[in-house]
């Protein structure tokens, strides 16, 4: 009998050669088993292997389909590099006019030989005293003043997440995450040998009862969440939901990693760390706040977890650059960071308004100040087909499968990043996507309801 991997290799070759096109529906596993003369259990392993390689995606209640595009990193879509398409609506690295000039002003004093010499010295995960004080002020709120001793630093936000997860969840143990989540977390978990447990969400975000139910099935070691401006859904936990989640975490004695990378767009929303500072590792970075090339990451870590997270960052080699850290201290101190953040909040709001106008009538979910939106496609239009058609038009968007913890279960939806192209280019790209959705869904772009979340 053929090994299931050899059968998967043949299907993969058909996909690579174009004999199976994006959006093509594979037969049911039972029909596939009959056609190949193999056991149903072997067919199931073939389909699991194809999904693991990122070649197929399962849509609940519909079946298994060939995905659009080539999956990177062993089948895991990481969204870590710019798309090859002329209009990139996948990644969201916002910049605003005048940003480079603002940043340059803060660097001028740093280029003096004495200052530069100090900035080029190596720093550890604890950073410097001036960095700890500056970043503590950055993340403090009216509800909670963060102490300088709580800060640890990494090379970027992804490394800060990896350090926190490595410290909290041993290999082979379970980490609870929203069922649609930041793709890099999936890649980090795979490398660390962490088992991801998808948790149900609704229009407001993570369901606390889902955390408790998953823990009853088999103990979780920690939780990773995005309670503010969730990526990809764009929703933020209401206060009462956040309070209920914290009650569950305390009852189960679970630590939580809070990803706050987009929180600067909604500074009035309190972090989860305000409600449960004793068990929350808050992770953030400067790549979205300032510029994608400045990737300083940082974490606010409670005392009980600090040494474990610091040791994890050290052993992983996930340390920051002294020059980047010193530059950030100056930008925080002279008000440059606050100016850039304010400009980006206005820019994100303008892009959301444009998207809502062009895509009026589509089923959209997002925050009015987010740099991305979640688009539930018209009935009958599969995400993989839509993504393939968009790519042929020179536009890259991300299918829901790129965010699904379980690649066999993903909705017919896409995430559209709004940050990268100039506004006129963005408008034309969105108009093209609306035409594709209208043609593929059998209805005009204006024929469906818009959901504001």
Summarize pLDDT for 197-256 with one digit per residue, the tens: 999 999 999 999 999 999 999 999 999 999 999 999 999 999 999 999 999 999 999 999
- Whether pLDDT at 60 is above 80: no
| Section 174-180 average pLDDT | 98
Average pLDDT for residues 168-176, to the nearest whole number? 97
pLDDT at 120: 75
> What are the distances in angstroms from CA 137 to CA 23, 148, 266, 284?
49, 8, 17, 14
Contact 192, 162 (CB under 8 A): yes
Q: How many beta carbons lie within 10 A of that of residue 29, not counting itself?
A: 19
The DSSP 8-state label assigned to residue 142 in this structure reads S
Please write the tens of the pLDDT for every residue from 333-386.
999 999 999 999 999 999 999 999 999 999 999 999 999 999 999 998 988 889
Tell me the average pLDDT of the chain: 88
State how far the Cα of 406 lies from the Cα of 157, in Å rounded to an integer.
24
The phi-psi region of residue 193 (left if phi > 0; otherwise alpha if psi is between -120 and 50; otherwise beta) is left
pLDDT at 17 over 90: no
- Report which of residues 58 and 244 the model is more confident about: 244
Instruction: Report in angstroms the alpha-carbon separations of 239 from 107, 227, 310, 313.
Output: 39, 10, 31, 32
Average of per-residue pLDDT across 62-73 = 65
Please name which of 177, 164, 168 lies closest in space to residue 300, comparing C-alpha atoms: 164
Asked if pLDDT for residue 116 goes beyond 80, the answer is: no
CA 19-24-28 angle, 5° bins: 110
Least confident range of 3-7, 187-191, 403-407: 3-7
- Confidence check: pLDDT of 164 > 80: yes
pLDDT at 84: 55
Name residues whose C-beta falls within 8 Å of residue 293's C-beta, 6 or more positions apart in sequence.
Answer: none
- Indicate the burial class of 230 (C-beta count within 10 angstroms; 0-12, 13-18, 19 or more): buried
Q: What is the pTM of this model?
A: 0.80
Residue 440: per-residue pLDDT: 61
Calculated CA dihedral for residues 180, 184, 188, 194, nearest 10 degrees: 0
Helical (H) or strand (E) element with 161:
helix 157-168
- Total residue count of the chain as it appears in this document: 453
Contact between residue 128 and residue 151 where contact means Cβ atoms under 8 Å apart: no
**Rounded CA gap, 350 and 359, in Å?**
14
Average pLDDT on 34-47 reads 87
Q: Which pLDDT score is estimated for 15? A: 83
Contact 41, 24 (CB under 8 A): no
Rounded distance between C-alpha atoms, residue 149 and residue 145, angstroms? 12
Q: Could you tell me the pLDDT band of residue 21, with boundaries at 50, 70 and 90?
A: confident
- Tell me the C-alpha distance between 180 and 231, whole Å: 8
Q: How far is CA 333 from CA 94, 106, 329, in A?
A: 22, 9, 6
In the sheet with 151-154, reading across from the earlier edge strand, the strands are: 151-154, 297-300, 280-285, 256-259, 220-225, 174-178, 195-199
Average pLDDT over residues 142-148: 91
pLDDT exceeds cutoff 60 at 75: no
DSSP code of residue 448: S
Q: How far is CA 267 from the centre of its chain?
A: 19
- The secondary structure of 59-116 as a DSSP string is ETTTEEEEPSSPPPTTT-----S--SSSEE-S------TTHHHHHHHHHGGGGSHHHH
Within 8 A by CB and 6+ apart from 401, the residues are: 57, 67, 77, 383, 384, 407, 410
Give the other-Cβ count within 10 Å of 98's Cβ.
11
DSSP state of 25: B
Find the range with the poorest average confidence among 70-79, 216-225, 444-453: 444-453
CA–CA distance from 248 to each of 143, 226, 379 (Å)? 21, 16, 36
Give 299-341 pLDDT, tens digit per residue: 999 999 999 999 999 999 998 888 888 889 989 999 999 999 9
- DSSP code, position 406: S
Q: Is 339 exposed, middle or buried (0-12, 13-18, 19+ CB in 10 A)?
A: middle
What's the mean pLDDT in 108-127? 78
pLDDT (tens digit, 9 = 90+) per residue, 388-436? 899 989 999 999 989 999 877 889 999 999 998 999 999 999 999 999 9
């Amino acid at each position: 009998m053929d090994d299931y991997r050899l059968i998967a290799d043949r299907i993969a070759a058909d996909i690579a050669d174009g004999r199976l096109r994006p959006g093509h529906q594979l037969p049911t596993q039972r029909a596939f088993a009959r056609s190949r003369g193999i056991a149903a259990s072997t067919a199931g392993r073939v389909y699991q292997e194809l999904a693991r390689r990122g070649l197929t995606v399962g849509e609940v209640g519909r079946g298994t389909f060939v995905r659009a595009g080539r999956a990177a990193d062993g089948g895991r879509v990481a969204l870590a590099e710019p798309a090859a398409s002329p209009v990139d609506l996948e990644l969201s690295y916002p910049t605003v006019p005048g940003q480079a000039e603002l940043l340059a002003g803060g660097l001028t004093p740093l280029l003096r030989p004495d200052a530069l010499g100090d900035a080029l010295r190596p720093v550890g995960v604890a950073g410097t005293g001036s960095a700890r004080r500056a970043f503590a002020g950055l993340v403090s709120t009216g509800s909670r003043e963060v102490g300088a001793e709580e800060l640890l630093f990494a090379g970027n936000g992804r490394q800060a997440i990896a350090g926190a997860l490595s410290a909290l969840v041993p290999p082979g143990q379970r980490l609870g995450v929203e069922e649609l989540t930041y793709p890099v977390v999936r890649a980090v978990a795979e490398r660390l040998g962490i088992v991801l447990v998808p948790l149900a969400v609704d229009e407001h975000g993570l369901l606390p009862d889902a955390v408790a139910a998953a823990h009853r099935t088999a103990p979780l070691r920690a939780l990773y969440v995005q309670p503010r401006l969730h990526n990809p859904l764009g929703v933020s936990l209401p206060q009462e939901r956040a309070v209920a989640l914290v009650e569950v975490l305390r009852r189960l004695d679970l630590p939580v990693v809070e990803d706050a990378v987009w929180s600067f767009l909604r500074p009035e929303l309190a972090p989860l760390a305000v409600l449960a500072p004793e068990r929350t590792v808050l992770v953030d970075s400067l790549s979205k706040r300032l510029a994608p090339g400045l990737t300083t990451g940082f974490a606010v870590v409670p005392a009980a977890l600090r040494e474990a997270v610091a040791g994890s960052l050290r052993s992983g080699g996930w340390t920051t650059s002294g020059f980047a850290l010193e530059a950030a201290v100056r930008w925080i101190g002279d008000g440059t960071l606050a100016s850039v953040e304010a400009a980006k909040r206005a820019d994100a709001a303008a892009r959301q308004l444009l998207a809502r106008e062009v895509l009026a009538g589509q089923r959209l979910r997002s925050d009015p100040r987010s740099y991305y939106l979640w688009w539930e496609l018209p009935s009958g239009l599969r995400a993989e087909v839509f993504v393939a058609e968009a790519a042929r038009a020179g536009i890259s968007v991300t299918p829901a499968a790129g965010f699904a913890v379980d690649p066999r279960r993903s909705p017919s939806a896409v995430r559209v990043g709004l940050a990268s192209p100039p506004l006129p280019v963005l408008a034309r790209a969105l108009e093209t996507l609306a035409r594709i959705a209208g043609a593929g869904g059998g209805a005009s772009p204006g024929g469906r309801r818009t959901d504001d979340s």
